[in-house]
Structure 1
Amino acid sequence: MAAAVSTGPDRDRTRAVAVGAALAGAVVAPLLYLLATGAAQSEVEVIERSGRLLVEHATPYLDDPRSVVEVTPYLPGMALLGLPRAVLGGDGPVARVLGDARPWCAAVLLGCLWASGRAVTPVTGGTSRAVTPATGGTSRAVTPATGGGSRAVTPGTGGTSRAVTPATGGGSRTVLGALVASPVIALPFAVSGVDLPLAGLLCLTLAFASRNRPIGAGLALAAACSMKWTAWPAVCVVFALLAHRAGLRAAVRGGITTLAGTAVAVLPGVLLSPRAMAEQVFAFPTGRGEFATPASSPLPGRLLADLGPAGWYAAVGLLLAAGLAIGVSLVLRPPGHLVGAADRLALGLSAAFLLAPAGRFGYLALPVLLACWARAASPARPLSAPALVAPPRIRVLPAPEFTASKFTAKDVPA
């Protein structure tokens, strides 16, 4: 249906309608059907149970899990998304929809994408004036927020020329909508949603860091780091980006904010159930726990780990080597803009997911989303020429006045 709609004459309008049709057919309809029938992957049940445990015992971890579905491989921040189920309870239609963790995971993703788009959008309505050399008038350059134009007065005639800036307007929203409707995002969106809030928070972190806002970046990154430890590599990338753009002091402020926020969210679980948290959050996802992890896609790290202890250590060694290489690249060539930082983080996460002893193909949706989102949200350079600047004024001295009575014959050269 989306392909049929996209063949219309008006490219911009038909493209937006096609993306809307794709979202309705690939995301909204499957999600509503799965919510109504109660079908979901096991991750949804894990999040909802961890929210109930957080309310009842102040920790989302069971001390003695009896099966793999009772293991909570997430950090305590993820349990917040299971609180609606603990509060609503029951099995009615409202509780079935609003108590499910998937709509809340999707809400975090979409809210973070909206906020990150606002963070990287230039200030609306700002003007700059410059004197034109021809008439002494002024030219006004308008900085739009979403695909507006910039005007400059033409010297001599007073006319205006308009250039459209395709920075962060409807085009970027269409690209993001198409990305969400793609199978890479639409499938986890409907069946589990567990990595969606992590992806949205990382996008928001990079947006704040690219605009030299270390406190906002630190808070968003702390929220991500309190959900899954796979967000921890982003600390190095964000620190390098802030240090390159805003200086070392801003990077330190962002790092301290991240560490403090993560500690506040994670420390209660560490104090109340340290052994259960270590086994379920760190040992279980790497294949060293009591129960076998269901994340068993045939990725290189998993294939190595299946060879035995030597293969497991080889996979871990390759994983550490890849992390060291990314760290060295951040020191030697730190990212200086949003796209570069997102690409570096996506590269590191891709290496981690490929080389980890246990993993799933679905994990790769996170680096894909980061790389595509950064290119859609990054403000483009304006197409209009810069405003003319008045040349420096030159003071002209008055010419000396001569009278005929002051000249004599001897003043005339022979």
Structure 2
Amino acid sequence: MVTSRLPGRPLPAVPAQRAFGGRRPGQGLLAAVVRSAGRRRVQVAGCLVAAGWAGVFPLASALPNQRLWGTVAAGAYLLAALLAAVLPRPHAGRAAALVAVVGAALVPLVLLALHGYRQSEVGVVERSARLLLHTGSPYLPHPVRVTDYDPYLPAMSLFGLPRALLGGGGGSVDSGAGGLLGLAGDARIWFAAVFLLCLAAAWRLLRPYGASAAVPLTVLTASPLVALPLAVGGVDLPLIGLCCLGLALAGRGRPVSAGLVLALACALKWTAWPAVPVAAVLLWAVHGRAAAARCVMVAVTGAVAAVVPFVLAAPEAVLEQVVRFPLGLSAVRTPATSPLPGHLIACLGPGGRWACLVLLGLGGAAVAARLLYRPPLTAVQAADRLAVGLAGAFLLAPAGRFGYLALPLILALWLRLATRTGQVAAGTPRVPSARPRPSESLSATVPSR
């Protein structure tokens, strides 16, 4: 059994096989899903479901870029289903995944970028980079329209620097420069690059001597969960990748590296800030207070150094655009109005908005209490805690989109896939499996491997 290093009341002991990758109900279910994914009928059904999902967008979406994605991606998924059905078994799954990722992610991304079509979020990021270079601040001082608001923290403007340096982009955030130059400067290319590199690095950390990440990463990227935001403008993709990598580094006992990665994530959006205490508790429970303190110090210092200068330079702009606007408290309402519980409650009036904020606080307190009472002992458990907290926050926020839920979904899925073999990763300490008696030390004795 494994007990936490946290001081105070002893925590319930956790079986070693749960702490370090053994079989438990959630992992058994995941293993069954992974095994079934290799079956031809499951592959065909998955491609057909994705085709149906994509086929809805040309009919229901009001955004031209989403309609284009749906048209191209639906055909790609149908072709992938055909290949999965007729090709010989050793090649069917890989061929279907390759066709799906090319047709549902790469081709729509290139077409949209070459023609200068993107969602307004991409244009906001690219404009913030131009403002940063010319004025020293990524925020417009007096926003009037929705697209004048920049709800991201200053480091997000880094993804717009290629566009600012290469030129183009125009004055509208809804359209950008086309052609090869526009493709090279498009912020979506850099969103996707950081996302994929971080997920590959997290996989390598958690499975250093296991299977390659190429096929799982291809399948994940080909899924509508990633392919749609990647093609039309997924500003959350780099945040997802950095959070996965930060938790993987913490799980491998690298507090300084985890702190640096999480500092960058925290300088992109407020959404990443809960990842810092989760990583710190993981490090504290497994590697001790000093490791947790180093991670927190590096993460907080780095994020503060990246954010505070801009807050001091334009405090009102940052407060209005980064805090009030996402919470639905600004003069201009955010367009993020998916019918999630928080938005429905907020629509009841001013009292409804404050009720959402109270529910957010109570939900955060409950997640924090659970985190301290049963601290995570692996990166997978830490990702689960963070995913639950973020999902609750997105569901209860006064303004939100269904797309925000991609962050907790990928967090919970990717790190679990990377460790699904049920084996202890190289360098992970083994622990005795006997339950400690009350008279024994709170810290489990960890013999060398």
Task: Give the TM bin, normalised by the shorter chain.
Answer: 0.7 to 0.9
Measure, in 1, the Cα distance between the counterparts of 2:178 and 2:217: 34
8 Å contact 1:120–1:379 — kept in the other structure? no
**In the alignment, is residue 218 of structure 1 matched against residue 296 of structure 2?**
no
Measure, in 1, the Cα distance between the counterparts of 2:347 and 2:239: 29
8 Å contact 2:195–2:237 — kept in the other structure? yes
Measure, in 1, the Cα distance between the counterparts of 2:346 and 2:113: 36
Counterpart pick for 1:96 among 179, 182, 185? 182
**In the alignment, is residue 61 of structure 1 matched against residue 147 of structure 2?**
no
The unaligned stretches of length 5 or more in structure 1 are 123-144, 147-168, 384-414
Return the structure number with greater strand share.
1
Corresponding residue number in structure 1 for 2:103: 25
Measure, in 1, the Cα distance between the counterparts of 2:97 and 2:135: 44
Corresponding residue number in structure 1 for 2:65: none
Structure 1 residues 382 and 370: alpha-carbon distance in aligned structure 2, compared to 1, 3 A threshold: closer
Corresponding residue number in structure 2 for 1:6: 84
User: Percent identity of the aligned residues?
Assistant: 51
Aligned residue pairs total 338
Measure, in 1, the Cα distance between the counterparts of 2:316 and 2:371: 34
> How far has the Cα of 1:92 moved from its partner?
5.8
Counterpart pick for 1:259 among 290, 295, 300? 300
**In the alignment, is residue 279 of structure 1 matched against residue 311 of structure 2?**
no
Which residues in structure 2 correspond to 1:245-324 (within 5 Å)?
245-324=286-365
**In the alignment, is residue 117 of structure 1 matched against residue 203 of structure 2?**
yes
**In the alignment, is residue 335 of structure 1 matched against residue 413 of structure 2?**
no
Corresponding residue number in structure 2 for 1:135: none
> Normalising by the residue count of structure 2, what TM-score does the alignment of the two structures yield?
0.73
Corresponding residue number in structure 2 for 1:46: 124
Counterpart pick for 1:204 among 234, 245, 260? 245
User: Deviation per CA, 1:27-82, whole angstroms, max 9, x where unpaired?
Assistant: 01111111112111110110000000111111101111121111110000100001
> How far has the Cα of 1:12 moved from its partner?
4.9
Structure 1 residues 267 and 12: alpha-carbon distance in aligned structure 2, compared to 1, 3 A threshold: farther
Does the residue aligned with 1:6 lie in a helix, a strand or coil? Answer: helix
Structure 1 residues 375 and 273: alpha-carbon distance in aligned structure 2, compared to 1, 3 A threshold: same
Which residues in structure 2 correspond to 1:27-176 (within 5 Å)?
27-90=105-168, 91=177, 93-122=179-208, 145-146=209-210, 169-170=211-212, 172-176=213-217
User: Deviation per CA, 1:156-196, whole angstroms, max 9, x where unpaired?
Assistant: xxxxxxxxxxxxx14x5323322221111111111112000
Measure, in 2, the Cα distance between the counterparts of 1:335 and 1:92: 47
Output the aligned Cα RMSD: 1.5
**In the alignment, is residue 194 of structure 1 matched against residue 280 of structure 2?**
no
8 Å contact 1:121–1:379 — kept in the other structure? no
Corresponding residue number in structure 1 for 2:226: 185
> How far has the Cα of 1:17 moved from its partner?
2.0
Measure, in 1, the Cα distance between the counterparts of 2:97 and 2:404: 24
Does the residue aligned with 1:7 lie in a helix, a strand or coil? Answer: helix
8 Å contact 2:115–2:179 — kept in the other structure? no
Measure, in 1, the Cα distance between the counterparts of 2:142 and 2:422: 57
Measure, in 1, the Cα distance between the counterparts of 2:90 and 2:244: 26
Measure, in 2, the Cα distance between the counterparts of 1:248 and 1:7: 54
8 Å contact 2:220–2:226 — kept in the other structure? yes
Measure, in 2, the Cα distance between the counterparts of 1:338 and 1:10: 37
Partner amino acid, structure 2, of 1:59: S
8 Å contact 1:338–1:378 — kept in the other structure? no
Structure 1 residues 13 and 246: alpha-carbon distance in aligned structure 2, compared to 1, 3 A threshold: farther
Measure, in 2, the Cα distance between the counterparts of 1:73 and 1:16: 39
> Normalising by the residue count of structure 1, what TM-score does the alignment of the two structures yield?
0.79
In terms of Rg, which structure is larger? 1
Which residues in structure 2 correspond to 1:395-406 (within 5 Å)?
none
**In the alignment, is residue 229 of structure 1 matched against residue 270 of structure 2?**
yes
Does the residue aligned with 2:281 lie in a helix, a strand or coil? Answer: helix
User: Deviation per CA, 1:122-160, whole angstroms, max 9, x where unpaired?
Assistant: 3xxxxxxxxxxxxxxxxxxxxxx13xxxxxxxxxxxxxx
User: Deviation per CA, 1:255-289, whole angstroms, max 9, x where unpaired?
Assistant: 00001110111122112111100110000000001
Measure, in 1, the Cα distance between the counterparts of 2:178 and 2:352: 49
8 Å contact 2:206–2:252 — kept in the other structure? yes
Measure, in 1, the Cα distance between the counterparts of 2:111 and 2:271: 30
Which sits farther off after the overlay, 78-87 or 235-244?
235-244
Measure, in 1, the Cα distance between the counterparts of 2:202 and 2:90: 23
Measure, in 2, the Cα distance between the counterparts of 1:340 and 1:11: 35
> How far has the Cα of 1:308 moved from its partner?
0.6
Partner amino acid, structure 2, of 1:89: G
The unaligned stretches of length 5 or more in structure 2 are 1-78, 169-176, 425-449
Partner amino acid, structure 2, of 1:324: A
Does the residue aligned with 2:163 lie in a helix, a strand or coil? Answer: helix
